[in-house]
Amino acid sequence: MNPPQTEPFCPLRWNGECLLLLDQRRLPAAETWLEIDTAGGVATAIRDMAVRGAPAIGIAAAWGVVLAAQRGGGTAARDALVTLAAARPTAVNLHWALERMERVLAASPQDLLLALEAEARLIQGEDLEQNRTMARLGADRIPSGSRVLTHCNTGALATGGIGTALGVIRQAHADGRLASVHATETRPWMQGARLTIWELSREGIPASLVTEGATAHLMKRDGIDWLIVGADRIAANGDTANKIGTYALAVLARAHGAKVMVVAPVSTIDMRIESGEEIPIEMRSGEEILRAAGLSEAPPGIAVENPAFDVTPAAFIDLLVTDRGVVERPSREAMQRLFS
């Protein structure tokens, strides 16, 4: 197996005094780095999607707790846990990372700031290793000559490493297994068009951009072997919440004989939630749909539904690739075996 090329840059950097975040709202037009020195600033960056992607959100939140402790000690850090947890509701990695930081606070180490910084650094480092593991496991399941479709952005920009679903695609490309790669625009924030295609083009991986409305036509005309996506929260029965549109693509994949691979670390699995019915779905401002690049796309005053995520039932998922192994046909029993 050939390793993918050198690790891509990470969109989060800690310089000892502040957190540097690549502002993903500005891509691909400009590579702008934000210098954030407060936990409130990190929460705003998460809520406004300057940083996005479930693993990256968790990492950013961990550094937000460090920033709070840096300025106000343990009391400020505990207050920051609440502020950061409220930034976005669906991605479970956010709460998982904050729970780890809370355990450090509860232990009351002699040098609290040093201990919090070490934990945040560990969370970020672990994510990179998990990405590498999932990339190898997922790519090994992809036969030579495969045609793949991906949705949203699940690469280096969404993680602390090489990506989840996009990490698998990177590894499969390095192994010479891919015949073609297609990425959806991914409305409403166009994260596929702005971010995924940008990442793939930077790394020299040929890929074509397709509108979500054209994916059924693409599957029927050219054929797709794999739909490969990430996840923001996975329930105990394998139901998976991911960027809005994933469910529709999974249904189309099943109708056209393609398989569905979900790639996510075990920190994305929430065994406290029995099914996807219990996963909170974030509703975002309708302005994200009504306007693009400052131009109106619809008449003023109309009602808008803008859910950020949907839930794909486990029955539509063929493989769940995690850093602990691969689950075929996810179910409650299979998920329990994964954790045992």
Tokens of 1: 């197996």
β-bridge pairing 33-36 and 146-150: unpaired
HSE-CB at 35 with a 13 A cutoff on CA atoms is 4
Active-site choice (127, 225, 232, 270)? 232
Tell me the C-alpha distance between 50 and 301, whole Å.
Answer: 27
Tell me the C-alpha distance between 284 and 306, whole Å.
Answer: 6
Tell me the C-alpha distance between 49 and 43, whole Å.
Answer: 10
Q: Which positions ≥6 away from 188 have C-beta within 8 Å?
A: 244, 284, 288, 289, 306
CA distance to 125, 143, 288, 294, per residue, from 303 (Å): 43, 45, 13, 19
Tell me the C-alpha distance between 130 and 266, whole Å.
Answer: 9
* 232 annotated active-site: yes
CA distance to 161, 229, 287, 329, per residue, from 334 (Å): 27, 20, 41, 8
Q: Which residues of 229-257 are buried (b: 16+ CB within 10 A; e: fewer)?
A: bbbbbbbbbbbbbbbbbbbbbbebbbebe
Catalytic residues: 232
